[in-house]
Chains A and B, each alone.
Chain A
Amino acid sequence: MQVALMVPCYIDTFYPHVGIATLELLERLGVDVVYPEEQTCCGQPMANSGCYEEARATEEHYARVFSSFDCVVTPSGSCTHHIRNKFSAGSDSPEKQNLVRNTYDLVEFLHDVLKVREFPWATFEHKVALHTSCSAIRGLNMASMSERVHDPVFSKPKALLSGVPGIELVEFERVDECCGFGGTFAVTEEAVSAKMGFDKLAFMQKASPDCIVSSDMSCLMHLQGCARRQKQDIPFYHLAEVLNGVSL
């Protein structure tokens, strides 16, 4: 099975090392990965703002690039959620159905498809505050939701990270409260967005983590922006980097 790697536009531009870590990780696991070079973006920023008309061309391009692959993997819960649940480009064509069926967030792919739980090439003897995005939790069922008090507690990213020798995942309050990124919300309602980010950081900091990790770079981009503004130099890592064996 060949896997097409989708690298979200903001990772391509600002955090290419996350794309690199994802690629290297998949290669380490023996996956046959290709990176279709014509890819750009999944259309989420426009669609998320209600401007689905202005997302159409981008989504159609995306469909052209990816719909024929049996498996598409991306290190982004929010993009996966968009493609799986919100993609509007084109009618309910076989291509679109293919996209919906075959797109995986990296965590889902590792946890559910490859079913890998150990990452022996990595060591990470540090305390990690793990943040899981709302798209991942509520859009992709990647972890249990605190509101649903009777559901069994689980977290796929936690299950994966626990396979990295030496890692310690710290507990903090309001674990699944939104970090405040929310797509264009981050700029259209930036005061509230930033406050949510500062609050999330404060709750995490109470647990004295060495770093903050997430499988969604968009949340980390926002949290990092908030942290740096407060002159906090705590490092931020994408989950792919930790599993791939990054050192602090």
Chain B
Amino acid sequence: MSSPIDQAKNAEKFLADTVHEQRLDKLLWAMRMRRDAAARLVPEWEELRTLASEIKEHALSHLSDYLTQFEAKATANGVIVHWARDAHEHNQIVYDLLAEQGADTLVKSKSMLTEECELRPFLERRGIRVTETDLGERIQQLDDQPPGHIVGPAIHKTTKDVALLFSQKYGSDPNNEDVAYLAGVMRENTRPDFLKARAGMTGANFLVAETGAIVVATNEGNADLSANTPELHICSVGIEKIIPTMESLAVFIRLLARSATGDTITQYTSTFRGPRKGAAMHVILVDNGRSARLGMNRFWHSLKCIRCAACMNTCPVYRRSGGLSYGSTYMGPIGIIMMPTFEIRKYSELPFSSTLNGSCTNVCPVKIDIHEQIYGWREVMEENDQIQVVKKEAMRVADEVLSHPTLYHIATTTLSPALEVLPHFAVYNRLNAWGKHRDVPEPARGTFHEWYRNHRPNRNEVER
């Protein structure tokens, strides 16, 4: 059994690189401010959030009906609908479609679901050359790193990092950090791939049951290019992405870009209802644990997520840790509450990578109670024996002392032992870490308890 991801240790390494950490923190805080500014211009903002939450809860509570409705409509439109129970099934379906097409190259736009399914290595092992066409995803692909943020996968990299990377992979000028230049390098190098590809793949932000359509929101145009240029368009989408109607779509479109970047909308918000004449369109509906998560009383609300990353931008821990520190497909607050559903042991420490401050819950456009779910996952880890034995023991010792006034008074009234009881509980070595970067509080001369005894002797405990 592998040991859990040590996000705290990874974060510490990220923090040691002050250039990257300070940049990321400033950049993402600015995104949070842009989100605030955009929300301020929409007087009905809170009402939209409530509507979005209610629409999603309605859709998820009628999920089977909406999925079958979607399937019927899409099929009638000429779309071929597939169902994949898990990542492996999904990957196999994609491969089979490509093989049928005779396609050995694939252009794809950003899809966190395909990251979740680890599609690229699966295809590459079978001889398919995959070009990520989202700029951030492409940067990460070239650098052999997973995405660090679900909206801006390479947001943790400086322009200098990208200039160097592009010079290594594309032969561009390593000293030219101008963003327009670098975007141009990407454009020049990717355009031929779009033109040559026999298959293109997209994810989807939404599935619309009423019309059998998929909706994709991007800034670069790469999804529309991936979908519209080759003869074969494959779309992979999680079953939880379904919404009932085009009317309900409007609510989400108004919230999505504003929450993500502060823009009112992305440059391309596209609806695909059916294939082009002479082309084929396939939609793969993927479960991969979502239906099981639907049954989790405390955690099913995480399925409402529309992947805006507002929670990551506002999270003070994420901004100082970097997305890669989580070692997971989804990171930051939403990652903490989703990842344990995939592998509880591997991600058992993630719920502790939070101060429970609650900012994430306030910015979530679909009103997921993220910080409450983080707290809930801590309790689940306790229930499932995923809390380190030493930590649990330390807590047990604390409970023993704190539930017995005599023990507590002995512990706290002698000078230095007070430090050994609070805040660190000696057995758990991490709990001794307070003093690594901070000064420890000085023990006071006497406790409040003692003072009260001496200064208010006539005010005794009232008998009850």
Interface residues of A (CB under 8 A from B): 2, 7, 9-17, 19-20, 23, 33-41, 43, 45-46, 48-58, 60-61, 68, 86, 134, 137-139, 145-150, 174, 176-178, 180-197, 199, 221-222, 224-226, 228-229
Closest residue of A by beta carbon distance from B12: A191
Across-interface contacts of A40 in B (CB, < 8 A): 402-405, 408
**Pick the contact of A50 from B43, B381, B408, B437 — CB < 8 Å?**
B381
Is the beta-carbon distance between A191 and B437 smaller than 8 angstroms?
yes
With A43-B399, A138-B371, A185-B355 known, 13 other A-B pairs at CB within 8 A are: A34-B462, A35-B459, A36-B461, A39-B405, A134-B355, A134-B358, A149-B36, A184-B352, A187-B431, A189-B7, A189-B317, A192-B8, A224-B439
Question: Is residue B316 contacting chain A, with contact meaning CB distance below 8 A?
Answer: yes
Given contacts A191-B436, A196-B320, A229-B437, contact A60 B375 (CB under 8 A): no
Is the beta-carbon distance between B405 and A38 smaller than 8 angstroms?
yes
Closest residue of B by beta carbon distance from A27: B456
Interface-lining segment among B67-75, B146-154, B194-202, B422-430: B422-430
**Pick the contact of B392 from A23, A54, A229 — CB < 8 Å?**
A54
**Count of A-B contacts with CB under 8 A?**
254
Closest residue of A by beta carbon distance from B411: A13
Given contacts A16-B444, A194-B437, contact A139 B358 (CB under 8 A): yes
Give 6 nearest A-B pairs by CB, closest first: A50-B378, A182-B355, A225-B438, A194-B437, A57-B403, A19-B448
**Pick the contact of A185 from B354, B404, B439 — CB < 8 Å?**
B354
Is the beta-carbon distance between B352 and A49 smaller than 8 angstroms?
yes
Contact code string B398-436 (vs A, CB < 8 Å = 1, else 0): 111011110010001000001001111000001111101
Interface residues of B (CB under 8 A from A): 7-8, 11-12, 15, 21, 25, 29, 36, 39-40, 43, 45-46, 314, 316-317, 320-321, 351-359, 361-363, 371, 375, 377-382, 387, 391-392, 395-396, 398-400, 402-405, 408, 412, 418, 421-424, 430-434, 436-444, 446-453, 456, 459-462, 464
- Residues of A contacting B: mostly: helix
Is the beta-carbon distance between A41 and B448 smaller than 8 angstroms?
no
Is the beta-carbon distance between B448 and A11 smaller than 8 angstroms?
yes
How many Å from the CB of A128 to the closest CB on chain B? 21
Is the beta-carbon distance between B356 and A134 smaller than 8 angstroms?
yes
**Pick the contact of B423 from A150, A186, A199 — CB < 8 Å?**
A186
Across-interface contacts of B440 in A (CB, < 8 A): 225
Given contacts A52-B379, A56-B399, contact A37 B36 (CB under 8 A): no
Is the beta-carbon distance between A13 and B433 smaller than 8 angstroms?
no
Is the beta-carbon distance between B438 and A226 smaller than 8 angstroms?
yes
Is the beta-carbon distance between A150 and B43 smaller than 8 angstroms?
yes
Could you tell me the distance between the alpha carbons of A23 and B399 in the complex, rounded to whole angstroms? 27
Is the beta-carbon distance between B462 and A2 smaller than 8 angstroms?
yes
Across-interface contacts of A184 in B (CB, < 8 A): 352, 423, 431
Could you tell me the distance between the alpha carbons of A147 and B453 in the complex, rounded to whole angstroms? 45
Across-interface contacts of B441 in A (CB, < 8 A): 14-15, 221, 224-225
Could you tell me the distance between the alpha carbons of A222 and B156 in the complex, rounded to whole angstroms? 28
Could you tell me the distance between the alpha carbons of A11 and B441 in the complex, rounded to whole angstroms? 11
Is the beta-carbon distance between B316 and A187 smaller than 8 angstroms?
no
Could you tell me the distance between the alpha carbons of A137 and B46 in the complex, rounded to whole angstroms? 18
Is the beta-carbon distance between A37 and B449 smaller than 8 angstroms?
yes
How many Å from the CB of A139 to the closest CB on chain B? 7
**Pick the contact of A13 from B39, B363, B412 — CB < 8 Å?**
B412
Could you tell me the distance between the alpha carbons of A200 and B239 in the complex, rounded to whole angstroms? 41
Across-interface contacts of B46 in A (CB, < 8 A): 148, 150
Across-interface contacts of A186 in B (CB, < 8 A): 423, 434
Given contacts A192-B321, A194-B438, contact A147 B363 (CB under 8 A): yes
Could you tell me the distance between the alpha carbons of A225 and B161 in the complex, rounded to whole angstroms? 35
Could you tell me the distance between the alpha carbons of A185 and B434 in the complex, rounded to whole angstroms? 10
Could you tell me the distance between the alpha carbons of A207 and B317 in the complex, rounded to whole angstroms? 24
Is the beta-carbon distance between B448 and A20 smaller than 8 angstroms?
yes
Is the beta-carbon distance between B355 and A145 smaller than 8 angstroms?
no
Is the beta-carbon distance between A196 and B436 smaller than 8 angstroms?
no
Across-interface contacts of B8 in A (CB, < 8 A): 188-192
Is the beta-carbon distance between A55 and B399 smaller than 8 angstroms?
yes
How many Å from the CB of A97 to the closest CB on chain B? 17
Across-interface contacts of B402 in A (CB, < 8 A): 9, 40-41, 43, 57-58, 61
How many Å from the CB of A49 to the closest CB on chain B? 6
Is the beta-carbon distance between A146 and B36 smaller than 8 angstroms?
yes
Across-interface contacts of A229 in B (CB, < 8 A): 437-439
Is the beta-carbon distance between B320 and A14 smaller than 8 angstroms?
no
Across-interface contacts of B387 in A (CB, < 8 A): 49-51
Is the beta-carbon distance between B444 and A15 smaller than 8 angstroms?
yes
Is the beta-carbon distance between B357 and A68 smaller than 8 angstroms?
no
Given contacts A34-B461, A68-B464, contact A10 B408 (CB under 8 A): no
Across-interface contacts of A138 in B (CB, < 8 A): 357-359, 361-362, 371
Give 24 CB contacts A-B under 8 Å.
Answer: A11-B448, A14-B422, A16-B447, A23-B452, A35-B456, A40-B402, A41-B402, A50-B351, A52-B379, A57-B400, A138-B361, A138-B362, A146-B36, A150-B43, A181-B355, A182-B354, A187-B430, A189-B11, A189-B317, A190-B430, A190-B436, A195-B320, A224-B439, A225-B441
